[in-house]
Chains A and B, each alone.
Chain A
């Protein structure tokens, strides 16, 4: 029985819902591939367009000898075109002549808690695999513990089984709302929203990596005394520099341990993440002006923003957490 037959006759039947979900899986599975880039278990990838496949960075554990199982079951070689540990995305390239369709993107801004969603994975030639649930929370822009900047927080109550890292989050009509990352949270499936994926995709395609501004200074918020803020009670908090990286942009530009940063490029900063946000937006090479208090005297220090060192993201990665 076709889905349309049910939707016209019985708009509310469970059979119609069931058929619709299975059709959505069929639709989405045409762009879902298996990625063989680690020992033992494969992970999942999404054919974004033109022979370019996205998966999660954490599941790509070797940079050569990567293979892809296509939806038709054929296994083909792939090359690593770029990776970004902070946003947990890696870009792989296969021969575009395989003729896979492009992913049909949904707008993650339309997702609401309660919407039925699925993760569609592929691990081998045996067909797609499905995990089912509902969107549990949608929030604003956020920065993950790996340092990636996502346009919104999308969490769903579905289980990411082993190999589901890199799977698309699919709605009930088969649109791809983003890519599921297994390493970001334990209890809920966290999705990298499609617009963020698109932005990182473009950067990885152009340069193979994502350049982020870097200062090389550790800071913490401190309360300013009346003499320090000079009677301006709205400026009662600053950022104390507690460490600078040797040879880093902050050290080169003249920022010193003990300086209290009041503003960056004319904007007040009260929390370290405000500086990180500004750095994430600014391209390396930009000269940033820092208003600082040094020994009670206000000065301006100019720092040429560097590029955040690449490599393996921020801090540890538990082996089991990548899915």
Chain B
């Protein structure tokens, strides 16, 4: 049961949960937070020689739940710092749950249900003019002007300050995936012929 694979999966599930929970943060801060935690986990595993599931679980317990970390991030920028009246109720955050075997255990609603007392979550809309233009160019433009639409749309998507790196990655795969498949298909057909 104590396989390296299970340990990797624990880390992946944890980082996925963190990514979900951090959806309300500005994308650059979300990326920054994920980079920091990912680096911490890698460094801790290298330093302590952590490979098995139990040790990884301890490591993640010490980090705190993704929701706790994101709550700290929201709390940290509630201006003016230290002056705002705070809710006296301590945040009730569930301890890191044991992932039930395979499959993601991250609660999809985690981003919307931050513990009480942290105030409204400043959720920036991911849709600005730039993002709409990028999606229209990638979707419609890709059909009407197959090459130009994609070539213009993708840089637009990557210029977005509202989308995180993951969002941009999804846009790139969706836009370029069919083209790559088509090219592979043509190449294969050429080889067969």
Partners in one complex: no
- Chain B positions within 8 Å of A, measured between CB atoms, are none
